[in-house]
Chains A and B, each alone.
Chain A
Amino acid sequence: MHSATTSTKAHLSGTGAPLRVEGVAMTSSHNSSNQRTLDPRTKLFLLLAANLMLFFHVSVITQIIMVLLFLVPLAAAGRWKMTANFGLTFAILTGLGFLDPEAIGLPWLHVVSALAVGCTMMLPCFITGAYAFTTTSPSAFICAMRRMRAPESVVIPCVVVIRFFPTIAEDYRQIRNAMALRGIAAGGWGLVRHPAQSLEYILIPLLMNATNVAQDLSVAALTKGLGRESVHTSRTEIRMQIVDWLMMIAVMVPLMLDVAGVMR
């Protein structure tokens, strides 16, 4: 009896502990992310601002200021490596953009220079996008969408998409394992050698599973009341704080100045 209980306890701690630890880690990171990242709506605003930069062809100085501003929240969220990577890439690309192929006497360098200018323009979008993607918890994202009165027919698929990504990754691993067991497309270049075959062998099981999962999820979601008409509650609270407003203003000022033509 005693040994049985200890064994179950050991068993529980054997399987349950990592799960629980993971859960704790998740909630704690979740809490800290709540404190140290911006509101999802602010992130959307930053994305829009980055897009507007692309639209208005802002000058290089504005671009540098804006990118520095965009990197601040990323660093504040503790993504040091990503911040450094983006900063470095931006610095190199800006430098390449200033290259004058004529002066060096190599006209083909225009390709490099044009590419650099193009990538520099895209980079703000990527920075804000990476920030939005890596620091927003699904529940905060959903809460923000509901707050912005997005129709339920868009919110629900979005929930499912976020929920379904890990499942796809897991399924993919298992499918590859099963394929390797049968000696299909084993090795690094196996997939590339027969593209149509590998597409079929990977995608069809994924789709088969997807249809099943869709049914299971619908049952589960309906049980939890996703189909109800009334307002849904959320455990995650999102709130616009002073930092959010400050960030918005800080981003808007250089953009406005540039568009108005003051900072050219």
Chain B
Amino acid sequence: MTASHSPADNTAQTANQSSGKPAKTGKLEVADLITIGVFAALYFVMVCVATLVSTLFTGGFGSIFLPAIAALISGCVYMLLAARLGKFGGITVMGVVIGLFLFISGHFVLSFIASIVFPVAADLIARVGKYKSKALLLVSYVMFSYGLTGPILPLWFMKDAYIASLQARGKDAAYIDGVFANINTATFFISMAAILVCAIIGGWFGQKMMKKHFIKAGIA
């Protein structure tokens, strides 16, 4: 009896708590920005862990699966941020901050563009569901995960570089094509598909964890 009663009680309480906050205008306030910062830091740590794991698994071409692994493990962070903030702009700012830190830590500058475009899209999708709809949050998380494709873009640039250096050494075009026949599009699609699958699993895991821990504790 009490067990069936308490979730509703708690959700009412959280609703009260969130509506009782002073920052209920649509704009981001300092408190929200600090929340975003805290979660961005956690997300960045997740990205670093993902880089480590990805490098261990795939050796030299380390970061091909970086976005996928990051998507797999950071669902909780994203879901909790969306639940805590529940207003437009938060996800975007987090993406921008992550992109900035990726750039400063020596990643490719195009990663910055990816980490603005995709989070904005994710933010818009989540807003349609008012940051409550589970399905839309999952979709938005998948979208957000593609924002991390920036760091792996150089793989395609460096292919060009190797081709250029082969050409400089007088290899003919057919030979070069042969070398790169299976590196090009196949890996691209595999890595993109991996992001999709991993983001869905990670987001689902995150929502499960939310239900198991945070909603009960009245934090989310």
Contacts and interface: CB of A to CB of B under 8 A. Distances in A.
B195 interface: no
Please classify the interface of chain A as helix (H, G, I), strand (E, B), loop, or mixed, using the class held by over half of its residues.
helix
Interface of A: 44, 47-48, 50-51, 54-55, 57, 97, 100, 102, 110, 113-115, 117-119, 121-122, 125-130, 132-133, 152-154, 156-161, 163-165, 168, 196, 199-200, 203-204, 206-208, 210-211, 213-215, 217-218, 221-222, 226-227
Contact of A126 (B37, B39, B106, B158): B106
A207 B157 contact: no
A110 B166 CA distance: 10
Contacts of A55: 109, 157
B158 A129 contact: no
A194 to B, nearest CB: 14
A214 B38 contact: yes
A204 B209 contact: yes
Interface string B134-164: 0000000000000000000011011111101
Contacts of B45: 165, 168
Q: What are the 8 closest A-B residue pairs judged by CB atoms, nearest first?
A: A129-B106, A160-B37, A157-B37, A118-B158, A218-B31, A164-B41, A51-B109, A156-B33
Contacts of A222: 30-31
A202 to B, nearest CB: 10
Given A125-B107, A154-B100, A210 B34 contact: no
Contacts, number: 163
A157 B52 CA distance: 25
B200 interface: no
B104 A132 contact: yes
Contacts of B36: 157, 160
B200 to A, nearest CB: 15
B44 A161 contact: yes
A211 B93 contact: no
Interface residues of B, number: 56
15 contacts: A51-B109, A57-B160, A114-B159, A115-B61, A117-B161, A119-B60, A130-B106, A153-B93, A154-B93, A154-B97, A157-B33, A165-B45, A203-B77, A211-B38, A226-B30
Given A110-B179, A117-B158, A153 B28 contact: yes
Contacts of B100: 154, 158
B161 A118 contact: yes
A153 B38 contact: no
Contacts of B169: 100
A129 B106 CA distance: 4
B105 interface: yes
A50 B94 CA distance: 25
Contacts of B28: 153
Contacts of A204: 76, 209, 213
Nearest to A130: B106
A218 B35 contact: yes
A152 B93 CA distance: 11
